[in-house]
């Protein structure tokens, strides 16, 4: 059974419809990518899953239709959304941001262990653990956002453009940690990424969106083998 399954999902902001019937699925412990140009509906698809945009169609999480639930409810079910623009809490310290991520959990000891795990995953954060998140660099904020999502001990992390605005080497480091997180923490992922090279380092398969519709779906190797995909998303 798939962990997450979207069936013919549409979404709109006010009168503007952005998704016109998206379907794809994510298997248990899998990682799937959403590729596409700006405005293709990648971010909106993630927002549909986490319940921050109005949708129609069915969104099944562990077999249960979660469409229409708000973000705090979907978070409770085990969906952690790392939003576009990172969403770090600027006035709170790094440690406090991580603790906010663990808000729904009651296992205090394990929370402390997990904070240490995140700081081990992102050594940059270790040095800044007491500073305000607003004082961090873009890369550090992205690391913090991923770490905060992990702190919820989610079943699936929705990752939105984790490389946006980062220097290539920093983006690489963020993705290396995400790969490690996927391997060690047994969490599934939906990865939205402009840079398909980075995306393909994490995902098993991917869906290509075009103007709110599914244009193409395939495994990583298939997509990487396609000339059209290479030209459009892999720079050559």
Partner 1 sequence: MSYFIQVVVDGLSNGAIYAAIALAIVLVYRATGLINFAQGGMAVTATFVAYALTRVGVPVLLALVVAVVFGFLLGALLERGVMRHFEGGDPDTAVVATIALLVVLSGLSAYFFGYEPHPFPSLFPNRTIEVLGVFVSLRSIGTITVLLVVMIALQLLFRSTKLGLAMRAVADNPRSSALSGLPVSRLLMIGWGLAAALGAIAGVLVAPQLFISPGMLDFVLVYALASAILGGLDSPIGAVVAAAFIGVVENLAGAYLDFIGDDLKIAVPFIAVIVILVVRPQGLFGRKVTVRV
Partner 2 sequence: MATTTAPRSTTGTASSATARWKGIAAVGVLAVALVVAPLVSSPYINYQLSSIAVFAVAILGLNIVMGYTGQVSLGQSAFLGLGAYIAAYGILHGWPGPLTLLLCAVVPAVVGMLVALAAARLRGLALAMITLALPIVGVPLARRFDEFTGGSQGQVVSWLRAPESIGLANDQWRYYVVVLIAVVAFVLARNLVRGRIGRSFAIVKENEAVALSMGVSPYRTKVLAFTIASLLGGVSGFMYLAIVQYTSPETLVFATSINLVAAMVIGGSASIVGTVLGAVYYVLVPVLAGQVNSSRTALISGAVLLAVLFLLPAGLVSLPRRLARLRSSRGRPPQPPAHPTTSDEAAQPASAPPAATTDQHS
Instruction: Enumerate binding residues for partner 2 (CB under 8 A).
Output: 8, 10, 15, 17, 20-23, 27, 54, 56-57, 204-205, 212-219, 222
Question: To the nearest 10°, the Cα dihedral for 192, 198, 201, 206?
Answer: 30
Residue 218's binding partner among partner 2, partner 1, none (Cβ under 5 to 8 angstroms by kind) is partner 2
SS3 34: strand
Strand positions, DSSP E, 84-187: 156-160
The β-bridge relationship of strands 79-82 and 64-65 is unpaired
Residue 56's binding partner among partner 1, partner 2, none (Cβ under 5 to 8 angstroms by kind) is partner 2
- Residues whose CB falls within 8 Å of the CB of residue 179, separated by 6 or more in sequence, listed in order: 201, 202
Q: Tell the smallest beta-carbon distance from residue 71 to partner 1 (Å).
A: 4
* Contacting residue, 72, 120, 184, 221, with partner 1 by CB under 8 A: 72
Q: Tell the smallest beta-carbon distance from residue 220 to partner 1 (Å).
A: 27
Radius of gyration (C-alpha) of the chain in whole angstroms? 17
Residue 76's binding partner among partner 2, partner 1, none (Cβ under 5 to 8 angstroms by kind) is partner 1
- Residues whose CB falls within 8 Å of the CB of residue 42, separated by 6 or more in sequence, listed in order: 34, 35, 36, 160, 192, 209
Q: Tell the smallest beta-carbon distance from residue 91 to partner 2 (Å).
A: 12
* Contacting residue, 39, 116, 120, 135, with partner 1 by CB under 8 A: 135
Nearest CB to partner 2, comparing residues 54 and 172: 54
Candidates 93-101, 116-124, 196-204, 205-213 — which segment interacts with partner 1 by CB under 8 A?
93-101
Residues 31-50 that bind partner 1 (CB under 8 A): 50
Distance, CA of 138 to CA of 34 (rounded, Å): 23
Nearest CB to partner 2, comparing residues 149 and 190: 190
* Contacting residue, 37, 53, 60, 99, with partner 1 by CB under 8 A: 99
C-alpha 215, offset from chain centre: 21
Asked if 207 contacts 214 with a C-beta cutoff of 8 angstroms, the reply is: yes
Distance, CA of 9 to CA of 213 (rounded, Å): 10
* Contacting residue, 35, 49, 59, 80, with partner 1 by CB under 8 A: 80
When asked if residue 128 is in the footprint of partner 1 (CB under 8 A), the reply is no
């Amino acid at each position: 059974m798939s962990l997450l399954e979207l069936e013919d999902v549409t979404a709109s902001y006010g009168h503007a419809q952005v998704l016109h019937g998206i379907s794809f699925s994510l298997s248990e412990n899998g990682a799937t990518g959403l590729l596409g140009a700006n405005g293709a509906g990648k971010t909106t698809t993630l927002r549909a899953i986490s319940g921050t945009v109005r949708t129609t169609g069915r969104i099944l999480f562990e077999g249960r239709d979660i469409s229409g639930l708000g973000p705090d409810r979907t978070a409770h079910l085990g969906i952690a959304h790392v939003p576009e623009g990172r969403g770090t809490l600027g006035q709170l310290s790094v440690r406090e941001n991580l603790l906010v991520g663990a808000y729904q959990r009651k296992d205090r000891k394990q929370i402390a262990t997990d904070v240490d795990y995140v700081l081990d995953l992102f050594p940059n954060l270790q040095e800044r653990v007491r500073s305000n998140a607003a004082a961090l660099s873009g890369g550090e904020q992205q690391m913090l956002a991923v770490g905060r999502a992990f702190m919820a001990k989610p079943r699936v992390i929705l990752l939105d453009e984790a490389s946006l605005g980062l220097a290539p080497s920093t983006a690489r480091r963020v993705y290396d940690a995400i790969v490690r997180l996927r391997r060690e923490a047994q969490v599934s992922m939906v990865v939205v990424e402009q840079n398909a090279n980075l995306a393909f380092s994490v995902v098993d398969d991917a869906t290509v969106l075009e103007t709110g519709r599914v244009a193409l779906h395939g495994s990583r190797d298939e997509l990487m083998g396609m000339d059209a995909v290479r030209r459009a998303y892999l720079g050559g």
